[in-house]
Amino acid sequence: MVNSQDDVSTASNGAPDSLSVVSKAWNDMIDNENETLRERVAELEKKVLDYGDEVVCLRSTLADVLRRLNQLESLRSYNQNVGIKNGGVVRSQSAQAANNFNSLHKEAVRYRPVVDANNRDPVRRVLSYTPSTLPQRRAVHYQSTGSLHSDSPSSSSVSPVPTSPSPSTTPTSILKSPSTNTNLHTAKRWSSTGDFNNVPANVNTAPPSRLATKSMYNLHTRSQSFQNHHSSVPKLGMRDASYNEDDGSLRMYIRGRPVVLLAPSDVAENYNISKVAPPPQSKLKLDWVYGYRGKDCRSNLFLLPTGEIVYFVAAVAILYNVEEQSQRHYLGHTDDIKCLTIHPNKMLIATGQTAGHDAREGRPHVRIWNSVSLVTVSVIGIGEFDRSICCLSFSKSDGGTLLCAVDEANDHNISVWEWQRGDKGHKVTETKCSVDTVIACEFHPIDRNVIVTCGKSHINFWTLDAGGTLYKRQGIFEGNRDRPKYVTCLAFTQTGETLSGDSNGNVVVWQRGSNTIAKIVRNVHEGSIFTICVSKEGSIITGGGKDGRLFQFDSNLQPTGYEARIAEHLGGIRTVSEGRGSQLLVGSTRNCILIGSLSTGFSPAVLGHTDELWALCAHPTTAQFLTAGFDKIVQLWDSLSHTVVWSKDIAEQAQSACFSPDGSILIIGCVSGRWIVMDSETREPYFVHNDGVEPIQVIKFSPDGKCLALGSRDNFVYVFQVSGDYRKYSRVGRCAIERRRRKISPSLLLLLGHSSFITHLDWSGDSQYIRSNSGDYEILFWNASTCRQIPQTSQMRDVVWASNSCVLSFPTIGIWPDDADGTDVNACERSHSARLLATADDFGKVKLYAYPCSQPKSLCHTYSAHSSHVTNVAFLHDDTRLISTGGKDMSVMQWQVV
């Protein structure tokens, strides 16, 4: 009995140990199950995302197929209906093109046609893609209403085969789409959040433009009959302009100063100043946009499931298919686009713009549009934002029902919108985000109603509750050492952790559901990390804004050994996103887009300028043109292949440019007063000359090629004799007026030029005379051989001029609006056929008139794409295309004449 009692006692004493062992085993089992459950949930979340991507891809592919079918049907109808336009200039399809079209129906669609080597352009090209013979993808024709504004919300173009230039080589698919009318603003510097510039405290919006006549806020397609038959009020002529029938002179006033223009003899007798000149039969369609805005914007480069990359420059959102060499354009914005985001369905795109001139459409707002049809789905926030929208993001976990926006007000307000609710959307909430600069804003991809923002010295984690209130938790940095001056970019891992890059070159991992740091990888880059990209496989790619390097890490932020560096002249890394397969899309800080991989390297697909553009000239015999500006870069472009033939740094800010009559020599006029003579093929300089220290505003060869005229900002026109195949130049003199100062000395003879800087000049057809305009609205005529003024302007009444780039002349009277201040029109250019006249103005407009435009009441077609003042326009040698250059938007637009 004693033994049994001892056994019981021992058992009783050991019971607690058994229970603790069992409890511990159960706890371990539960922990294991929880861990397994978390892994399974994470795996299911990943599968759901993958399935969602596949569904999106299938939908986009189906949409692309439907678009191609509609395109082919439209091409068929266009070929049947196209006729003769532009006063006898044939725009119909050639027999060869018709055969090509028929072959598209009989054979499989070919993405890359075989090009005859004998027809290739002999000029060397930097980067060339073989274009496709496919017709235009959803091409859109600008619908002219005969009014001042003939704009379209979308445009598309496809590159022809880059053979030797031919006037008949033009895209042929032209469809019709809703027409929307916009007004842009004058010269305006870009405000930068990407480069951490402080936003000014007060920005006064400009008054409504006097050209604003219609509304952009039209989200529905207008009827075709309304587009074709809409009547417009003709533009009133220059106020108080008058015509003297006795001497055949017209007197107009610019800023109260009278300007007298003499009508040609064959016009003077029957001239009627009250007559209204109709617009031209020809119109413009945006064919191609050169450039990319990476200098001060980020997260603006994405690949769509259809194979197009989407980005923006100026007021245009561009969808570019690199393989097919085709572009489509969304033209709904009226001013600089500052940000872009993609809906989770990969078909809808939201873009936000800065403030402009217009009372309504010029105010900052967000436009949500369909990337397939280019139709505007919704316009939200008109009157709700200040200055501009700098960040946008669709919600991810709920299928994109919400849109988050951050504006550039003093407090950088953050707002959340139910963008599908009503025509204008519904603002769920709005609150102050940060008094400092906000750089990025992203919805969390997994956690519902969680938003992360970052910027100067902060990263914030926001939660949107069921009542529509935003709660903020600021990210906690461990000490002053880890607190960066800027948190520059955001990304999310596949498990839901937040990644941030900063100005110290560090990558920080933030715990999911927390505002604390889980891990820091220090000194990844030299200088700021401008972008982090998480691939579908889970690898992490970082891009440096200073060192121009790309580094790849695995999902645990361990280096994989793969890295790359882009060429120094292309700038730093601004943004990185996934391309097709293993390809990456890279946007640089010098406005370039590159495509490649870490293993094979990167090649530029889009090149652009990085500062204000003024110099523009078309090649006299081929479909090429040249641009140059204040970034000291000269670039020769091919308008058919849409590529850069060559690019050269001249170490001088360029103001003007001109080709020799045979196109072999190129002359660049610089801001410093120098002008450079270089070979247009080899880019080798032959001659550098100085004429003063003021900018060379305009350069032109005489029609016979024996003389060269340069208009300088020092008020003089310089004339040079040309010899040696345009390689030798000897000064004839400078155009001046002889004036004697009798009060000082009767024998003292002064040679004076214009009383202000030279703006434009033209040569006569016989190369004997020059006419010039100046900044104070003078029109003077000169004898080119003696460089002396011809004071009797009546002698020049019937002179035939080889060009008409002078904005003040009798054939250009109608380009001036009421109350013009003399700087509204920056440039004008007459087509080589002398049927059209194009102008570039301070309101961001490109206008097309019938030539001559000698009636004060002259109607025109007006086109919007630039977001800054348009600095120059030029017709190509065969008049099939028009080129325009922007000022602060740094873009080059190519327009097709249709």
Give yes or no for residue 644 having a pLDDT over 90: yes
Distances (CA, A) of 409 to 166, 487, 513: 51, 19, 29
pLDDT band for position 817 (cuts 50, 70, 90): confident
More confident residue, 789 or 87: 789
Query: Is 423 exposed, middle or buried (CB count within 10 Å of its CB: 0-12, 13-18, 19+)?
Result: exposed
% of residues, the chain, pLDDT over 70:
75
Residue 357: pLDDT band with limits 50, 70, 90: low
- Report the alpha-carbon distance of residue 173 to residue 77 in Å, rounded: 9
Residue type, position 679, single letter: D
**Sorting pLDDT into bands at 50, 70 and 90, what band is 108?**
very low
- When mean pLDDT is compared across 126-135, 412-421, 746-755, the lowest value belongs to 126-135
- Report the pLDDT value the prediction gives residue 728, as an integer from 0 to 100: 94
Residue type present at position 85? K
- Res 189 pLDDT > 90: no
Model confidence at 631, pLDDT cuts 50, 70, 90, reads very high
Confidence of residue 345 (pLDDT cuts 50, 70, 90): very high
Total Cβ atoms within 10 A of residue 210: 12
Q: What is the pLDDT of residues 223-249, one digit of tens each?
A: 333 333 333 333 334 667 899 999 999
Q: Which amino acid is at 177?
A: S
Single out the residue of 60, 54, 51 nearest to residue 349, CA to CA: 60
Q: Please tell me what DSSP assigns to residue 724.
A: T
435 pLDDT above the threshold of 50: yes
At 57, the pLDDT band (50, 70, 90 cuts) reads: low
Half-sphere exposure of 663 (CA within 13 A, CB side): 15
For residue 258, give the H/E element and its range.
strand 257-262
Across all residues in the chain, what is the average pLDDT?
81
The pLDDT confidence band at residue 423, using thresholds 50, 70 and 90, is confident
Residue 65 binned pLDDT confidence (cut-offs 50, 70, 90): confident
Distance (Å, whole) CA 612 – CA 295:
13
450 within 8 A of 444, measured Cβ to Cβ: yes
Q: Are 104 and 293 in contact (CB under 8 A)?
A: no
Looking at mean pLDDT, say which of 133-137, 815-819, 882-886 comes out highest.
Answer: 882-886
- Residue count (the chain): 898
In angstroms, rounded to a whole number, what is the distance separating the alpha carbons of residues 702 and 768?
9
Residue 613 three-state SS: strand
pLDDT of residue 864: 93
Q: What share of the chain is helix, strand, coil (3-state, %, to 5)?
A: 15, 40, 50
DSSP H or E stretch at residue 52 = helix 2-81
Q: What is the largest CA-CA distance in the chain?
A: 151
Question: Is pLDDT at 555 greater than 50 in this prediction?
Answer: yes
569-600 pLDDT, tens per residue? 999 999 999 999 889 999 999 999 999 999 99
Q: Check residues 113 and 469 and name the one with the higher pLDDT.
A: 469
pLDDT given at position 173:
34
What is this structure's pTM?
0.77
pLDDT of 161: 42
> Could you tell me the sign of the dihedral formed by the alpha carbons of 322, 327, 333, 335, in that order?
positive
**pLDDT band (50, 70, 90) for residue 16:** low
Q: What are the tens digits of pLDDT across the range 708-722?
A: 999 999 999 999 999
Instruction: Write down the residue that tokens 């996934």 correspond to.
Output: 578
Q: Residue 454 has what DSSP assignment?
A: E
Q: Which of 549, 530, 550 has the alpha carbon at shortest distance from 540?
A: 550
Cα gap 590→293, rounded to integer Å: 8
pLDDT of residue 148: 39
Q: What is the pLDDT of residues 767-800, one digit of tens each?
A: 999 999 999 999 999 999 999 999 999 999 999 9
pLDDT of residue 256: 82
Mean pLDDT, range 660-677, rounded to an integer: 96
Question: What's the Cα-to-Cα distance from 750 to each of 101, 770, 789, rounded to whole Å?
Answer: 68, 21, 13
